[in-house]
Each structure stands twice: as structure tokens, then as C-alpha cells.
């Protein structure tokens, strides 16, 4: 029998995930973890897969372990913040992590999810280059939503 290495199992897991072959992707992720229990990539990739499956607590545990394996890798915090946005952990953890890694775009999304529209607009403005159309739209959307809500409350917005 040929020896399998974690990288091959991980690559196969990623292809199967991209093909939405969920059960086989999970098997390959688990095989990658078995073959490389200290592989940052295997744990981080499995965390993303678990989050896609809505298994946020397991995803968080995997990404935290990946962070222990490679504590200087900023992707860990980005994954943790992204998982928090999609899960019951909510935007507070995401805000904390996006601040820690200096991801202003992610921070803007988290603030927007928390309906902190002025903070979201400020974060988007800080994180985007002036000529990025998406950034302008995000800032305008946040400010527009904030203005609408303030007017609904009876507050004058200039």
C-alpha cells in the first residue's frame, strides 16, 4: 500500500469541498488530520469546511487549535472572526478579532451586522482605497441606513 501524506488528503478534501461532495470531503479532511495532526493547514481547512456545514462550535475549536499550532499566522484570527460573524457567537468576537488583525473591511461588516452604521462606514472608509467602487457603496449604504433609522426615531440628520 502506498503511503499517503497529509498534503494529498488535504488537497483532495479541498477539491471535494469545491465540488460540494460533503461526505467525501469530510472523510478526506479527517484523513488529513489523522496523517498530519500538527498540520496548521489541515486544521484551518477543516475549520472552514465545518463552518460551511453550520457546525460553528467545532469550526471554532479547529481554528483555535490551528492558532496554537501557528500563533503568528494572521489567517487564524481572520477565520475566527469570519466564523463568529456567521455563528451564534455574533459580531462582538468578530469585531475584537478584526481589530486585532487590522482588517477594516471585516470590521466594517461586523459593525454593520451589529447595526453600528457610523462605525461601519468609518471602518470601510479606512480600509478601502478611495477609488474602489465597492467601498464607496458600502460607506454610502451604512450612512444611508444610519440616516434612515435616525429619521425614523424623529432625529434630524444633516
More confident residue, 137 or 67: 67
Distance (Å, whole) CA 137 – CA 147: 15
User: Looking at the predicted structure, is the pLDDT value of residue 90 above 60?
Assistant: yes
Q: Residue ranges per domain, the chain?
A: 1-90, 103-158
More confident residue, 91 or 157: 91
Distance (Å, whole) CA 44 – CA 30: 12
CA angle 4, 27, 72 (to 5 degrees): 75
Distance (Å, whole) CA 124 – CA 109: 8
Overall size of the chain counted in residues: 158
User: Looking at the predicted structure, is the pLDDT value of residue 89 above 80?
Assistant: no
pLDDT grade for 1, boundaries at 50, 70 and 90: very low
Segment 104-141, tens digit of pLDDT = 888 888 888 888 888 888 887 777 655 554 544 555 56
Q: Which CATH architecture has domain 1-90?
A: Alpha Horseshoe (1.25)
pLDDT confidence of residue 155 = 55
Element (H, E) at 9: helix 6-18
Amino acid at each position: 500500500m502506498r503511503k499517503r501524506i497529509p498534503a494529498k488528503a488535504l488537497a483532495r478534501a479541498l477539491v471535494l469541498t469545491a465540488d460540494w461532495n460533503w461526505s467525501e470531503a469530510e472523510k478526506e479532511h479527517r484523513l488529513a488530520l489523522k496523517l498530519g495532526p500538527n498540520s496548521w493547514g489541515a486544521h484551518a481547512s477543516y475549520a472552514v469546511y465545518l463552518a460551511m456545514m453550520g457546525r460553528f462550535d467545532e469550526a471554532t475549536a479547529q481554528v483555535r487549535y490551528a492558532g496554537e499550532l501557528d500563533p503568528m499566522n494572521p489567517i487564524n484570527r481572520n477565520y475566527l472572526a469570519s466564523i463568529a460573524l456567521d455563528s451564534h457567537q455574533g459580531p462582538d468576537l468578530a469585531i475584537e478579532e478584526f481589530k486585532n488583525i487590522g482588517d477594516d473591511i471585516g470590521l466594517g461588516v461586523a459593525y454593520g451586522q451589529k447595526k453600528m452604521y457610523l462605525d461601519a462606514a468609518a471602518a470601510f472608509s479606512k480600509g478601502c482605497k478611495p477609488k474602489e467602487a465597492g467601498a464607496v457603496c458600502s460607506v454610502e449604504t451604512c450612512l444611508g441606513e444610519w440616516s434612515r433609522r435616525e429619521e425614523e426615531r424623529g432625529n434630524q440628520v444633516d
